[in-house]
Amino acid sequence: MTTLTEEELIVQTALDYFEGWFEGDVTRMRRALHTELAKRAPTEDGWTLNETSAEWMLDATLKHLAKDRDPGRIDVTVVDMYGDIASAAVRSAVYREYLHLVRTDEGWKLVNALWQWTAKNGVADENQISAAALDYFEGWFDGEAERMRRALHPNLVKRPGRVDHSVAGTLGALTAQEMIERTAAGVGRTRDVPDRALEVEVVDSHGDIACATVRSTVYHEYLHLVRTREGWKIVNTLWQWRPGHERREPEA
């Protein structure tokens, strides 16, 4: 029996998710999703997000709501893998979607998704997307709450604060307000190092959504962003410590 590589396993999870949706195969959909899935899409103003849970996705797949949609060719690109986290982009004739995945005891599971219709047009300024990512990271390390506030969508889901390999386990998530408060309290300053080695890679953008990877000495993090009337804002993140920088979260 051929053993699949980690990248092939991630692609298979993404295909279980997409093909399961279009084929009405709830078994494949269930196999792909973490129970704490945060699937969102921006509305016209970018501030309001259409939110979809794992429970809704399973019910809608069972009802085969996508039976009249033809996805055409489904292309999955594994953008990056690091430790127990991964980022992927999926293109089809119907949707453009960015995925965040975590490795669990039951395989790779989808925890964050940001999508928009493929027909949506729009040109993104990569410098603006990078600026939002830098406000987020530099604001954190420098204790600048206003920069953090400027970077974040009010409905941010930042995860995991802790990685639990059990698919039923709590991933942990921080809200925008919690991140702003922690930044103001100087928590990020305690994580700072002389050489941050910050590197922002804008991986892809489509219409009003984008995905980026940020590498630093302390963190490896994946970002999903949406365009709003006040600029690009971070809506989903998935992160992991870099070796040697693991620290306990401060007590509440």
Give tens-digit pLDDT for 96-136: 999 999 999 999 999 999 999 998 887 789 999 999 999 99
Quickly tell me which residue has 């999703």 as its tokens.
33
Q: Among 117, 147, 165, where does a domain finish?
A: 117
83: left (phi over 0), alpha (psi -120 to 50) or beta: left
Task: Indicate if 80 and 148 belong to the same structural domain.
Answer: no
Task: Indicate if 15 and 105 belong to the same structural domain.
Answer: yes
The boundaries of the domain holding residue 81 are 6-117
**Considering the domain boundaries, does residue 56 fall inside one?**
yes
Task: Indicate if 76 and 152 belong to the same structural domain.
Answer: no
Q: Among 86, 117, 148, where does a domain finish?
A: 117
Task: Indicate if 231 and 143 belong to the same structural domain.
Answer: yes
One-letter amino acid at 249 equals E
Interval 133-192: pLDDT, tens:
999 999 999 999 999 999 999 999 999 744 545 444 567 789 999 999 999 999 999 999
Angle among Cα 83, 86, 127 to the nearest 5 degrees reads 115
Task: Indicate if 113 and 133 belong to the same structural domain.
Answer: no
Query: What single string gives the DSSP state of each residue in 191-224?
Result: G--S----EEEEEEEETTEEEEEEE-SSEEEEEE
